[in-house]
Structures are given as structure tokens and as C-alpha cells.
């Protein structure tokens, strides 16, 4: 039997991805991004800025609407400048210019983009030299759109550009790392989706979860401003950050819906139109009404998140109600844990934000960690399913194949044989057997399959008692989930000596047993002998499930026997009837070999029925049939009508046939029954059966 369990190659692939992610974390944490901060030549230049004499400002705390319009903030450069120094700072959604002693040396102005005039954050470096020492640097900045007063300049330093960039990257390190990890695990989930052929067996929509994780990872990464800093591009990342988040709701709902029992499509439809509708709304507001996304994004996003959460809550409540009605367990424990962690961390970030309103590139760091944890938890749930439920899926597939064999033949009898032959080969066992209740306190072997190189133990000749053997096994079945595993029969020697003797006599070293039950009544047992020890547990699970279908096949076989009996047997005498007679001479009789033909006609049966009653006449019919079947066999005697029987004999020589004829005459005479008997033996068969029958009838009536 092929091992039922994990696909090792796929597990290795997942482990490879996890190891790669761990390595990435260690590399990023262990490199000089975090240790090099000790050698950076950074001089803070944020404090001491002035607009009017006597007024000193900390520039990081000033939004462009916090001071007089048209006047810049000024500060004198220190005397320790070198030729490699630069005036370094970051800005957010402001236009600006930098002057030295009144002479403009740098200007930046935003241009229109998909989201409006905003650009998010940008890093600036204005080159200086030793000759600029003592000069006054002036920064003027204003909102990128009319009425815009939230923009600012922050993180102002004097340093080399390379040191400033390294400083910025080191601050972004952890947020960037967890954003990348979220993207990474999203890609892993998408690859898993494509790696699995049968998508229906998955515990949830892996592709939807992967897309959601990838979208969130990209958005969180863009929100760190890392990509803006590394690429120097502003507007492409600005456009992505203000639009891609609206696409995350649809795959999230698809993913959550896939874990529910009902999987209602209405929730998927609503989430799709919600995502598309909100995205279309801010784009229409932007291009039809000129509303900058600085104004519309946060407002529409609040509506979007509230409606999305409401939709998910309704979906989960619907699923919970349905599960309670069915009495089944919900599969959302891991999901609830991940969501709880995510919401708790988001709340912590909001508290930090309100305690420290100056938002920088590291804002939301705790939420980024939580998002990675959420995706990892769902990935762990998938791995748990793979290591636990994948085994059940493979087992079910195996059972389905076995059931195909169970219906592949034309009769229940052959179906049973076909199934146990398939099971024996797949289990790599030496023997499979079935014992059935004989209704006499004993169980007889009825079916046997044995591997090539082994011999039959002639189960049809083997009987075992119910009391003291089968009854104890049945009790063991009920205690062990309707299965019994005997890894070593020597361990069973003291448990049930009679059973041990049966096993040891037939050279069984291990055994798996399961009951055949119908309406909780034991009708037989099925056993597997000599399978690999490592497979016994899996075999026991399969046999305990398949035993139900085997029991049904046994019932079908018995029903078929009853139907066949009533179709081809005479209800009174038990002999074969006229329909069976016609079928035999048309399909079953080999007229090319020797056979004998006999007719028996009862005399005076009608008179007996009239004078002594029909019951007396019926007894005579039954007695004659018994005499004929005793001599020629049940399968060769046919009652053609009320008084006539036809019989075939297949003795190898005429003398034997004639002896049987004389014997049956004697038996009928001993029972004091009047009957005429005529016969004919065809030594070389016949080419004209009708002629043989006619000659016997002529002898019966005295015409020959």
C-alpha cells in the first residue's frame, strides 16, 4: 500500500520558503544597517529655526500652516562645515525652496498625479561646502494645493548624503522587513495554490489569502517610503498607496467566506462591488470634481473599512448560527486569534500616534508585525491541515478507488471479490478474508484473497464459534472505534487463546480486523493479514470505513439470491421452474457432450386434490421433487407444470445414468406415489434436443 500521508516534496518546498524567510530576517537584522548608526556623522539641525527675531522653532513640529505665509524659516550654518556636507531633510506634501544668504540654491514643486497634487514623502539633500560656514540657510515651504496646511519639513540634519540615506534606511528597517515578509508569505500562498492540483480539497481559498497578503504587504511597504527613497520616484508609489488598499477587501472576503460552512456567494458579490465602488468613488471625485485624494482618501477609506468589517461580521455571525443549528464546530479559531492580534496592534499604533502626533516613516510598525503574524498563522493553519487532513483526503481518494472496484463487476458476489483483490494488492498484504454468520452459532469463511506465492487456506471449510471468539472480538471492536489492530499475534496469546490458535495455525504474524454490521447487528468480520507494520494504522481506518460497503454488498448478494430463487425456482417443490428450464436448454446445456434426460409425470394428482384436498396433493409434489433432487441434484430438476418434472443427468456413462433412474424409481415407489418415468441417455450428445425430448415424451405416453 502506498503510504497515506504527506507529500514530502511539497512539505520540503514549504520548509524551504520558511527557511529562506528566516534567513532574510537574520541577514537584515545582523548587518550593518543597525550597527553602523554609531559611525554616522549626523548633526541634528531641526532646532533653533527663526522667522522673526526672538521666535525660535523646532522645524519638525511646524506644519506649513503654522507660520506666516511667504516668510521662510532661517538658521545660521555652523562653522564646522566640510566640502562633503549637505543640508539634508525630508518633506511631506509641500512645495519648497532653499536659499543661502538670500540666494536660491534648491527648489522642489509637486506636479499633478493620479491622486492630485500630493506626493507623500520625499528626501532632499542640498550640497554645501566649507565656504558656506556662517551663512544663513532659509527654507520656505507651502502646501501643494490651495488651502493645504498639513504639509511639513522634518528630520533636518547636516551630514553627507550617504550617511543621511543610511540613517533613513536604518529607521525604516523593521517596518520594511515585516512588510517584505508579508509580501513574501503572500507569494508563498499563491505558489501553493498553483502547486496543488485539486483545489476543492483545500481548507480555504489559498489564492485569495495570498493576494490579500501581497496587496497589504505592498501597501505597507510603500507606506514606509522605503521604495520612494531607493528609487527616487514619488508619484508611482503615491498612486499605488492611495488605490491598492481598496483592492484588498475583495480577496479578504473571498478568503473568509471560503472558511464558512455555507460559502454564500452573496458576500463575495457585495465585497467586489464595495471594493470597486469605493475605488471608483475616489477616482470620480478626483477627475470629475477636482477633489484631491488628500481630502477624499481617508474619508472614503473609513467608510470602506467600516462596511467591510460589517460585512465580515455578518458573514461570521451567519456561519456561527448555521454551525449551531448543525451542531458542528466552526473553523475560525486561528482566524479569530490572528484578527485579535491585528486589531490589538493597530489600536496600539493609534495610541502611539495620538501620544506622538508627529508621524514619521516608522509609523505603524506594530501593525506591520501583526499583519505578518496574521498571515503566518493562516499559513500554519494550512500546514496543519496539510499534515493532518491531507492524510484523510488521500484516504478518501483511496476509498473512492476501492468503491469503483466494488461496482465494477456484474454481481455483488464478484464485486466483493474484486474489492478485496484491489485492497490486498494496495495494502501489500498476504491475505484478506471475510467470515459470515451462518445463523447456527458459527462463522464460516466465505471469501479469501491471497497474494501470489501463497496458498489458499480453504476458508469455506473453516468455521469459528461465536461464543468465546467472535463475541470477544466484537467487544474489542466497540472499544476501538470499530477496528482491531494486532501488530504481533504473540501479544494476543494470553488475551484469547482460541483466536491465537486460529491465527498461528494459519501463519498470521499481524492482523487488522473490522466488523461487518447491518443495523448495528454483526453479520461478519473482515480481516487483513501480513500487511507492512507501518501501514497497519492507515489500513485499519480504511477497513473500518469500507466494512460498511462490504456489508451492503453482502446484503445485495443475499437479496439477489432471493430474487434469483423466486425467479427460477418453483415455490412449492423447491425445484427449478419452467423459466429456468427454458433458460438452461437455450444457454446452459452443452449438447455436444454426453447427458441424460428424464421425464417424470405424476398419476392421479388431480383426483387426489379433489378427494383428499390440495394439501395432500402438494405433499406428493414435494416428495417427488425431493426424490429427484436427492439423486440428480437440486440444480438439475425442473418442475414444468402441476404434474410434470424434467431432469438432466450428467453421468459420464449410460450405466451410471440408468442406475440413477432406477434409484429414483425405487425412492418414489417407496413413498407409495404413482408416477410414470421415462428417460434417454445421449452418449455422444445430440444435434437435435427437441428430438430427444420428443422421444422421451413418447416413451412416457407409451407411443414408443
Report in angstroms the alpha-carbon separations of 304 from 238, 281, 285. 19, 11, 15
- CA trace torsion 112, 117, 121, 125 (10° rounding): 60
Query: d(Cα 434, Cα 333) in Å, to the nearest integer?
Result: 44
Maximum alpha-carbon separation in the chain: 152
- The answer on 246 and 181 residing in a single domain is yes
- CA trace torsion 67, 68, 71, 75 (10° rounding): -30
Question: Which contiguous run of DSSP H or E holds residue 481?
Answer: none
CATH number at residue 88: 2.60.120.260
Query: d(Cα 213, Cα 220) in Å, to the nearest integer?
Result: 10
Residue whose C-alpha cell reads 423447491 in the numeric block: 574
- Low-confidence winner among 136-140, 351-355, 432-436, 577-581 (lowest mean pLDDT): 351-355
Residue 284: inside a domain: yes
Identify the CA nearest to 85 among candidates 100, 74, 71, 73: 100
pLDDT of residue 493: 73
> Which pLDDT band, with edges at 50, 70 and 90, does 389 fall under?
low
- The answer on 364 and 235 residing in a single domain is yes
> Residues with Cβ < 8 Å from 542, sequence gap 6 or more?
4, 395, 398, 399, 402, 423
- The answer on 281 and 155 residing in a single domain is no
Residue whose C-alpha cell reads 469503483 in the numeric block: 404
Examine the pLDDT at 420 and tell me if it is beyond 90. Answer: no
Alpha helices for 327-364 (secondary structure H): 333-355
Query: d(Cα 198, Cα 616) in Å, to the nearest integer?
Result: 70
Residue 504: inside a domain: yes
> Residues with Cβ < 8 Å from 214, sequence gap 6 or more?
182, 183, 186, 187, 190
CATH number at residue 279: 1.20.1070
Examine the pLDDT at 686 and tell me if it is beyond 60. Answer: yes
SS3 517: strand
- The answer on 497 and 353 residing in a single domain is no
Identify the CA nearest to 24 among candidates 144, 185, 157: 185
Examine the pLDDT at 663 and tell me if it is beyond 90. Answer: yes
pTM score above 0.75: no
- The answer on 79 and 24 residing in a single domain is no
Query: Sheet containing 675-682: which strands, arranged edge to edge?
Result: 637-639, 644-649, 595-602, 675-682
- CA trace torsion 649, 653, 654, 655 (10° rounding): -110
Query: 517 with 546: CB under 8 angstroms?
Result: no
- Backbone φ and ψ for 276, nearest 5 degrees, come out as -65, -40
Single residue among 159, 192, 227 that ends a domain in this structure: 159
- The answer on 438 and 379 residing in a single domain is no
- The answer on 483 and 459 residing in a single domain is yes
Examine the pLDDT at 36 and tell me if it is beyond 50. Answer: no
Tell me which DSSP letter residue 569 carries: B
Compute the mean pLDDT over every residue in the chain, rounded to the nearest whole number. 84
Residue 33: inside a domain: no
Residue 167: inside a domain: no
- The answer on 188 and 108 residing in a single domain is no
Residue 166: inside a domain: no
The alpha-carbon radius of gyration of the chain (Å, integer) is 46
Query: d(Cα 437, Cα 568) in Å, to the nearest integer?
Result: 26
pLDDT of residue 329: 76
- The 10s digit of each residue's pLDDT in 500-559 is 777 777 777 888 888 988 888 888 899 898 888 888 888 888 888 888 888 888 888 888
- The answer on 321 and 176 residing in a single domain is yes
User: Residue 131 belongs to what domain range?
Assistant: 43-159
How many CB atoms lie under 10 A from the CB of residue 277? 13
Query: d(Cα 39, Cα 644) in Å, to the nearest integer?
Result: 119
Residue 215: inside a domain: yes
Residue 75: inside a domain: yes
Task: Please report how many Cα atoms fall inside a 13 Å half-sphere around the Cα of residue 368, on the Cβ side.
Answer: 24
Query: d(Cα 67, Cα 437) in Å, to the nearest integer?
Result: 99
Single residue among 337, 366, 393 that ends a domain in this structure: 393
pLDDT of residue 268: 93
Into how many domains does the chain fold? 4
Examine the pLDDT at 572 and tell me if it is beyond 70. Answer: yes
Burial, 220: exposed, middle or buried (Cβ in 10 Å; 0-12, 13-18, 19+)? buried
Helix axes 249-258, 293-326, angle to 10 degrees: 10
- The answer on 141 and 225 residing in a single domain is no
Facing residues of 430 across strands? none
- The 10s digit of each residue's pLDDT in 335-376 is 888 888 888 888 887 787 667 655 555 567 788 888 989 998
Amino acid at each position: 500500500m502506498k503510504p497515506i500521508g504527506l507529500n514530502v516534496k511539497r512539505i520540503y518546498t514549504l520548509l524551504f520558503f520558511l527557511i529562506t524567510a528566516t534567513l532574510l530576517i537574520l541577514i537584515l537584522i545582523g548587518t550593518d544597517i543597525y550597527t553602523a548608526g554609531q559611525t554616522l556623522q549626523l548633526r541634528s539641525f531641526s532646532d533653533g529655526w527663526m522667522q522673526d527675531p526672538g521666535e525660535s522653532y523646532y522645524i519638525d513640529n511646524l506644519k506649513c500652516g503654522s507660520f506666516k505665509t511667504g516668510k521662510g524659516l532661517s538658521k545660521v550654518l555652523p562653522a564646522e562645515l566640510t566640502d562633503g556636507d549637505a543640508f539634508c531633510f525630508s518633506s511631506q506634501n509641500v512645495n519648497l525652496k532653499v536659499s543661502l544668504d538670500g540666494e536660491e540654491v534648491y527648489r522642489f514643486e509637486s506636479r499633478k498625479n493620479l491622486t492630485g497634487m500630493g506626493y507623500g514623502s520625499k528626501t532632499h539633500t542640498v550640497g554645501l561646502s566649507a565656504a558656506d560656514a556662517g551663512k544663513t540657510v532659509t527654507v520656505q515651504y507651502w502646501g501643494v494645493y490651495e488651502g493645504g496646511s498639513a504639509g511639513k519639513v522634518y528630520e533636518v540634519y547636516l551630514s553627507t548624503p550617504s550617511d543621511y540615506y543610511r540613517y533613513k534606511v536604518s529607521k525604516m528597517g523593521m517596518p520594511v522587513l515585516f512588510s517584505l515578509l508579508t509580501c513574501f508569505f503572500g507569494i508563498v500562498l499563491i505558489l501553493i495554490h498553483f502547486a496543488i492540483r485539486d483545489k476543492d480539497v483545500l481548507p480555504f481559498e489559498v489564492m485569495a489569502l495570498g493576494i490579500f497578503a501581497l496587496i497589504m504587504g505592498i501597501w505597507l511597504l510603500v507606506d514606509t517610503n522605503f521604495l520612494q527613497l531607493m528609487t527616487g520616484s514619488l508619484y508611482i508609489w503615491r498612486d499605488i498607496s492611495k488605490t491598492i488598499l481598496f483592492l484588498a477587501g475583495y480577496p479578504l472576503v473571498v478568503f473568509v467566506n471560503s472558511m464558512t460552512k455555507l460559502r454564500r456567494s452573496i458576500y463575495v458579490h457585495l465585497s467586489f462591488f464595495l471594493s470597486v465602488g469605493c475605488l471608483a468613488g475616489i477616482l470620480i471625485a478626483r477627475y470629475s470634481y477636482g477633489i484631491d485624494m488628500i481630502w477624499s482618501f481617508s474619508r472614503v477609506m473609513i467608510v470602506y473599512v467600516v462596511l467591510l468589517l460589517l460585512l465580515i461580521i455578518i458573514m461570521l455571525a451567519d456561519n456561527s448560527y448555521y454551525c449551531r443549528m448543525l451542531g458542528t464546530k466552526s473553523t475560525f479559531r486561528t482566524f479569530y486569534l490572528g484578527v485579535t492580534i491585528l486589531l490589538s496592534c493597530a489600536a496600539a499604533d493609534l495610541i502611539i500616534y495620538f501620544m506622538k502626533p508627529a508621524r514619521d516613516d516608522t509609523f505603524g510598525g506594530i501593525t506591520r508585525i501583526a499583519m505578518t503574524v496574521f498571515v503566518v498563522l493562516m499559513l500554519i493553519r494550512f500546514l496543519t491541515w496539510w499534515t493532518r487532513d491531507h492524510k484523510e483526503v488521500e484516504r478518501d481518494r483511496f476509498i473512492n478507488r476501492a468503491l469503483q472496484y466494488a461496482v465494477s463487476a456484474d454481481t455483488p458476489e464478484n464485486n466483493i471479490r474484486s474489492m478485496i483483490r484491489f485492497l490486498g494488492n494496495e495494502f501489500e498484504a498476504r491475505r484478506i478474508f471475510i467470515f459470515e454468520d451462518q445463523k447456527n452459532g458459527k462463522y464460516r469463511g466465505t471469501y479469501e484473497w491471497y497474494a501470489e506465492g501463497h496458498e489458499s487456506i480453504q476458508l469455506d471449510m473453516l468455521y469459528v464459534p461465536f461464543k468465546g471468539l467472535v463475541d470477544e472480538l466484537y467487544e474489542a471492536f466497540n472499544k476501538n472505534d470499530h477496528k482491531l489492530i494486532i501488530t504481533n499475534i504473540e501479544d494476543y496469546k494470553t488475551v484469547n487463546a482460541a483466536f491465537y490458535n486460529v491465527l498461528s495455525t494459519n501463519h498470521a504474524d499481524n492482523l487488522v480486523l473490522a466488523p461487518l454490521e447491518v443495523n448495528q447487528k454483526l453479520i461478519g468480520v473482515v480481516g487483513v493479514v501480513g500487511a507492512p507494520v507501518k501501514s497497519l494504522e492507515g489500513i485499519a481506518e480504511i477497513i473500518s470505513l469500507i466494512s460498511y460497503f462490504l456489508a451492503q454488498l453482502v446484503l445485495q448478494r443475499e437479496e439477489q439470491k432471493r430474487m434469483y430463487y423466486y425467479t427460477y425456482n418453483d415455490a412449492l417443490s423447491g425445484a427449478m421452474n419452467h423459466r429456468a428450464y427454458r433458460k438452461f436448454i437455450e444457454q446452459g446445456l452443452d449438447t455436444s457432450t454426453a447427458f441424460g434426460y428424464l421425464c417424470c409425470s405424476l398419476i392421479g394428482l388431480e383426483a387426489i386434490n379433489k378427494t383428499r384436498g390440495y394439501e395432500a396433493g402438494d405433499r406428493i409434489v414435494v416428495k417427488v421433487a425431493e426424490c429427484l433432487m436427492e439423486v440428480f441434484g437440486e440444480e438439475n430438476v425442473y418442475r414444468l407444470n402441476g404434474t410434470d418434472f424434467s431432469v438432466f443427468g450428467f453421468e459420464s456413462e449410460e450405466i451410471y445414468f440408468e442406475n440413477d433412474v432406477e434409484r429414483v424409481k425405487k425412492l418414489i415407489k417407496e413413498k407409495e406415489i404413482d408416477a410414470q418415468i421415462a428417460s434417454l441417455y445421449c452418449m455422444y450428445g445430440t444435434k437435435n434436443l427437441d428430438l430427444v425430448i420428443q422421444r422421451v415424451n413418447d416413451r412416457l405416453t407409451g407411443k414408443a
